[in-house]
Amino acid sequence: MEKKIEQLKVILAEISDLSYAAALLGWDQQTYMPTGGAEGRGNQLALLGRLVHERATTPELGKLLDELKPYTAGIDPDSDDARLVKVTARSYEKAVRVPTKHVVEFAQETTLGQQAWMEARAKSDFSIFRPHLEKIVTLRQEYASFFPNFKHPYDALLDDFEPNMKTADVKAIFDGLRPKQVELIKAITDQPQVDDSFLHQPFDEKKQWDFGVEVITRFGYDWKRGREDKAPHPFTTSFGINDVRITTRVAPEFLNTMLFSTMHECGHALYGMGVAPELERTGLEGGASLAVHESQSRMWENLVGRSFPFWQYFYPRLQETFPQLAGVPLEKFYKGINKVKPSLIRVEADEATYNLHIMLRLEMEIALLEGKVAAKDMPDLWNAKMQDYLGVTPPNDAQGVLQDIHWSGGLIGYFSTYALGNLISVQLWEKINQDIPDLVEQIRQGKFETLLGWLREKIHRHGGKFEPQELVQKVTGSKIDPAPYVRYLTKKYSEIYNL
**DSSP assignment string, 214-279:** HHHHHHT--TTS--EEE-SS--EEESSTT-EEEEE---TT-HHHHHHHHHHHHHHHHHHHTS-GGG
User: Cα separation of 136 and 140, whole Å?
Assistant: 6
* H-only helix segments in 146-219: 153-161, 167-189, 205-219
Q: What whole-number distance in Å separates Cα of residue 304 and Cα of residue 308?
A: 9
The rounded distance, in Å, linking the Cα atoms of 2 and 8 is: 10
Residue among 461, 475, 473 at smallest CA distance from 431? 475
296 neighbors 271 (Cβ within 8 angstroms): yes
136 touches 408 (CB < 8 A): yes
Cα 262 to chain centroid distance, Å, stands at 13
Q: Is 36 exposed, middle or buried (0-12, 13-18, 19+ CB in 10 A)?
A: exposed
Q: Which residues are catalytic?
A: 265
Contact 378, 133 (CB under 8 A): yes
Rounded Cα gap, residues 272 and 277, in angstroms? 11
- For 8-150, strand residue ranges (E) read none
- 403 Rama class: left (phi>0) / alpha (psi -120 to 50) / beta: alpha
Query: End-to-end alpha-carbon separation of the chain, Å?
Result: 62
Closest alpha carbon to 96 in 139, 27, 47, 147: 147
CA 29 to chain centre: 19
C-alpha closest to that of 63 among 105, 134, 7 = 7
At how many degrees (to 10) do helices 2-31 and 100-123 cross?
Answer: 30
Residues 77, 139 contacting (CB under 8 angstroms): no
Contact 22, 52 (CB under 8 A): yes
Burial-class residue 415 by CB neighbours within 10 Å (0-12, 13-18, 19+). buried
Half-sphere exposure of 199 (CA within 13 A, CB side): 21
Round to whole Å and give the CA distance between 273 and 262: 16
CA atoms within 13 A on the CB side of 279: 27
Q: Are 467 and 163 in contact (CB under 8 A)?
A: yes
